[in-house]
Amino acid sequence: MLKEVLPKAIIFDWDSTLVDNWQSIANALNATLIEMDKTPWTVTQVRQNSKNSARDAFPHIFGDHWKDALDFFYKAFRELHLTGIEPLPGAENLLRFLREEGIYSGIISNKNGAFLRNEIKKLDWDKYFDNVLGATDLDVDKPSKEIIYSLLKETQIPPSKSVWFIGDASVDLECAYMANCTPILVETGLITKEEANQWPPYKTFPSCVEVRCYLARIKTISK
């Protein structure tokens, strides 16, 4: 059991962890599926099949035509993604708490890095993050441990159990395990019991609301 102390750093996933933008993602992906003569998906199907980055997922969905599909998707999503984004309950309060406590905060997402940073700017959340990495920013995406190493390389904080990775999907938990960080699950996604058992989280919270309450309690008892 880990001693209850505040983490030195917290890395977040983005979609379904801090924000909800799935309708925009689904609309852009379904436009792409239709363009490529494929059957559209429900929002639930989109969420279930969007754990990996587009460059990893699209070859499996679109085969040899995946690059054309990816170009079409990016064009469609670029027109939509800033209109439907909404913070999840407690997300900004948690980020504000971390900033006040001086806890290093970053994002690692399998969303295209340019789209990710535009969404952060749209919400005026730049002030909360020390570093942000999305898909295409590096040669690898989650769950590679290299992306965590890259996020932290300019800090004095090495990947360790004092670094939390908070996410809603198995790929987030796996990424934390790969880098020997602490995996934290928020139940705002669609992770299955089997996936959670494969990569067991250190702690599970219903949402960011409860994460902040837990950290505030640690702060109080550690004084």
Predicted confidence (pLDDT) per residue in 137-177, tens digit = 999 999 999 999 999 999 999 999 999 999 999 999 999 99
Domain borders along the chain are 9-20+87-221, 22-80
Give mean pLDDT, residues 183-205.
95
Task: Inform me whether the pLDDT recorded for 1 exceeds 70.
Answer: no
Render pLDDT for 22-66 as a digit per residue (tens, 0 to 9): 888 899 999 999 999 999 999 888 888 877 788 888 999 999 999
Write down the mean pLDDT value for the chain: 93
Q: Is the peptide bond before 200 cis (omega within 30 degrees of 0)?
A: no
Does the model's pTM come out above 0.85? yes
Fold of 9-20+87-221: Rossmann fold (3.40.50)
Contact 105/129 with Cβ under 8 angstroms?
A: yes
Percent of the chain with pLDDT over 70: 98
Non-local CB neighbours of 18 within 8 Å, separated by 6+ positions: 12, 87, 88, 91, 95, 107, 208
Question: Rounded to an integer, what is the distance from CA 39 to the centroid of its chain?
Answer: 27
Closest CA to 202 of 217, 216, 213, 186: 186
**H-run or E-run covering 203:** strand 203-205
For residue 81, the model assigns a pLDDT of 86
Please choose, from the candidates 183, 216, 213, 195, the residue with its C-alpha nearest in 3D space to the C-alpha of residue 89.
Answer: 213
